[in-house]
Amino acid sequence: MRTAFIDSLFELAQQDRRIVLITGDLGFGVVTRFMNELPEQFVNAGVAEQNMTGLAAGMALSGKIVFTYSIANFPVIRPFEQIRNDVCYHNANVKVVAVGGGMAYGSLGASHHATEDMAVMRALPNMLVVAPNDPVEAGLATRAVAAHPGPCYLRLGRAGEAAVHGPDIEFELGKAIKVLEGEDLTLIVTGGLLQNALSAAEILSAQGVTARVLSMHTLKPLDTDAVLKAAAETQAIFTIEEHSVIGGLGGAVAETLMESETRPALFRRIGLNGQFSSVVGDQDYLRAHHGLDSAGMVATIASALRDSVRFTKKNDRHDLTVVG
């Protein structure tokens, strides 16, 4: 995703000299071409994310379109006061970009994990929160947030993610992408877990349960129409995120459902259950450990469906049996 981001940003910056990239002393190798070919639109702020954010706000209020860039939670948690007071309060045209969302920097531990970032950024006035699910969405999201005249948070994966979408998808901030149709339940996914969710849907389909899969690349504003349509047309909704279940995608969907007259028979959040990940391993290992690989998703979904007294298969009103 980070390559899709920097390639898209470089193309935009070549066409618009207002675009500036500020890095917190990292990304070299990734941002080298931008730095070398557009030196007047590039700043290395050093390992000083609070200064980086204040600098970005000042430049934005002077007419620039500024992207700050650092890994995991560092461009979010460390300068949170500056994001709140300097960027959001002034509705400044700053785009906060985190690379390595979730547990992408797995072996470096909780200090390098971004698992509360969407919740805190979602709470800020004027802030858009965008977490693309694959490199295709990442490139399109970069262009979309650059065009948006205000604060945005762009949460990226690290590197090596497979493209799920073809090149001609329709992308719009605040509009979910329906990737797979299904009648029994809906999987709503954000932040890089789309491929795992599609694999889980395939396993469920083999057991006679069809799953609609929605790529919810924008967490704020949430596509409430897509959520309510899923609640009306399928009996269960599962949110999937590499993030705490508190305040992220699951919280946003739950708020939408509870404030609506349309609710599914079953709703569950799949993510980190309000704890730090203290286990050491790469991202795939940590996802499996926390039930965020396809097998873990299926096990959680199957257990919830079995325990639900309200869920019945759309095309078969008999008891549901799903092998997790």
Sequence ranges of the chain with CATH classification 3.40.50.970: 2-156
Given the candidates 3.40.50.970, 3.30.950.10, 2.40.50.100, 2.50.20.10, the CATH classification of the domain at 2-156 is 3.40.50.970
The CATH class, in words, for 177-307 is: alpha beta
Q: 215 phi and psi, to 5 degrees?
A: -85, 105
74: helix, coil or strand? coil
Sequence ranges of the chain with CATH classification 3.40.50.920: 177-307
The alpha carbon of 124 is separated from its chain's Cα centroid by a whole number of angstroms, namely: 16
Asked if the model's pLDDT at residue 316 lies above 60, the reply is: no
Tokens of 117: 């970032």
Surface-to-core class of residue 62, CB atoms within 10 Å of its CB (0-12 exposed, 13-18 middle, 19+ buried) = exposed
Q: What is the pLDDT of residues 150-197, one digit of tens each?
A: 999 999 998 788 999 998 899 999 999 999 999 999 999 999 999 999
Residues with Cβ within 8 Å of residue 116, at least 6 apart in sequence = 73, 77, 243, 244, 247
pTM of the entire structure? 0.95
Contact call for residues 253 and 188 (beta carbons, < 8 A): yes
The pLDDT of 201-221, averaged and rounded, is 97
Q: What percentage of the chain has pLDDT greater than the value 70?
A: 96
Tokens of 271: 């993510």
Q: What is the pLDDT of residues 246-266, one digit of tens each?
A: 999 999 999 999 999 999 999
Contact call for residues 291 and 323 (beta carbons, < 8 A): no
CA distance 132 to 155: 7
Q: Concatenate the DSSP letters of all residues of 142-156 into one string.
A: HHHHHHSSS-EEEEE
Please give the pLDDT value at position 69.
97
Asked if the model's pLDDT at residue 295 lies above 90, the reply is: yes
Q: Is the peptide bond before 221 cis (omega within 30 degrees of 0)?
A: yes
Confidence of residue 93 (pLDDT cuts 50, 70, 90): very high
Residues with Cβ within 8 Å of residue 277, at least 6 apart in sequence = 103, 106, 110, 113, 115, 286, 289, 290
